[in-house]
Amino acid sequence: MLIKKPSDVKSSEITPEKVYRNRRAFMKETAALALGGSLLGGASPVLAQDGDALKARAPEALSLSAPAPWWESKFAEVTPAPDQEPYFTGETLTPYRDVTRYNNFYEFGMDKSDPSSRSGTFRTDPWSVEISGEVAKPGTYHLEDLLGPMQLEERVYRLRCVEAWSMVIPWIGFPLVDLIKRFEPTSKAKFVEFETLVDPETMPGVTSRFAIVDWPYREGLRIDEATHPLTFMAVGLYGSYLPAQNGAPMRLVVPWKYGFKSIKSIVRINFRETMPNTTWNDLQANEYGFYANVNPQVHHPRWRQDMERRLPQTLFSRQYIETRLFNGYADQVASLYSGMDLAVNY
Ligand code: MTE
């Protein structure tokens, strides 16, 4: 793999001015939309306009219809991301087209374009999630009841894949801890395990003879990781509903870990005393650890991890940037791993 040295990265690609202008343009757009709303006598709250501004930046997001009518009222009030790290980054957003066309979602196939091109029949209503294990309130909950009390908010996070590419994505969702609290985990709940839907009717990847995964796709976090304020459950992006290829109706986003931890289309959340098996770790333990914290000093056998390719890219322009420890979220999460050898616990 060709790696561009930091000195080769054009300053125009990283200039703070560009970052600054990008954020200002976004805020002006938001203000203009909010003003337009009030001049027209629109009753929609300013909060919702931030989502509208994001949709305006990504016209394709406008065409997505709500998975069910109740989603519309849920999305009417979204708290905008505060204008500062770690819940916002001034880095240029990855265009909607790349966020929704360059995906890993093996249930739909192994090519980056498979999830968007082969998920047309995937449906997310009705949808329920089983909550099980070490909690006082286990049960199977309809998604509408799960999301009902949650206040949706926007978060702009970096997403770093172990394949050494990265994006900047404006998610909509809520902190996972707010959901977890409602089920009242017991003192034995040391880990949280997640599972993705397996539907052979609508997910062509799960019946493919080339499939390498033992379905369902499984992921897990330690309870302190799962309840960390940065750990996010996303139900939308770019001011609109989550497209199937990005893990509709609900997927995890753990911004300081490699993307494979951010499991999509979740149907089960299980609280347990012991570390769960996880999909990629089961497949190839020497390549994919349970922790999977972004770490520029611990390389994957096939991908160096000290640089990353920031999408979008064209044939003629590729932007490489240096990868940061914990994907730039070290101030928030490094203490979770104090005393641990990160090269051993990769
Ligand atoms: N979740 C499921 N169920 N199946 C998958 O194949 N791929 C993971 C993760 N979640 C995957 C998944 C990987 S490898 C990455 S990098 C991210 O999803 C990609 O998320 P994105 O397609 O929204 O960028």
Gyration radius of the chain over CA positions: 20
Neighbours of 6 (CB within 10 A): 12
How many residues can be counted in the chain?
346
What pLDDT is attached to residue 55? 78
Claim: this prediction has a pTM higher than 0.95: no
pLDDT in tens, 74-108: 999 999 888 899 999 999 999 999 999 999 999 99
Q: Phi first, then psi: give them for residue 39, nearest 5 degrees.
A: -65, -35
User: Contact, 174 vs 232, CB < 8 A?
Assistant: yes
* Residue in 262, 279, 280, 310 to alter for ligand 1 test, most ligand atoms within 8 A of Cβ: 262
Protein residue whose Cα sits closest to atom 13 of ligand 1: 260
What pLDDT is attached to residue 17? 37
Report how far residue 272's alpha carbon sits from residue 135's, in angstroms, rounded to the nearest whole number: 9
Q: Which residues line ligand 1 (CB under 6 A)?
A: 103-107, 159, 161, 196, 217, 246, 259-260, 262-265
Q: How far is the CA of 264 from the centre of ligand 1 (A)?
A: 6
More confident residue, 82 or 233: 233
Residue 146 has which token pair? Answer: 């799960």
What pLDDT is attached to residue 51? 66
What pLDDT is attached to residue 82? 86
Report how far residue 288's alpha carbon sits from residue 261's, in angstroms, rounded to the nearest whole number: 10
pLDDT in tens, 137-192: 999 999 999 999 999 999 999 999 999 999 999 999 999 999 999 999 999 999 99
Cα 152 off chain centre by: 15
Average pLDDT for 228-234: 98
Q: How far is the CA of 237 from the centre of ligand 1 (A)?
A: 15
Ligand 1 atom with least separation from CA of 196 = 3
Q: How far is the CA of 205 from the centre of ligand 1 (A)?
A: 13
Ligand 1 atom with least separation from CA of 102 = 22
Least confident of 3-7, 227-231, 274-278: 3-7
What is the percentage of the chain residues whose pLDDT exceeds 90? 78
Which 8-state DSSP code applies to residue 276? P
Neighbours of 42 (CB within 10 A): 13
* Residue in 104, 253, 305 to alter for ligand 1 test, most ligand atoms within 8 A of Cβ: 104
Q: What are the structural domains of the chain? A: 80-335 (3.90.420.10)
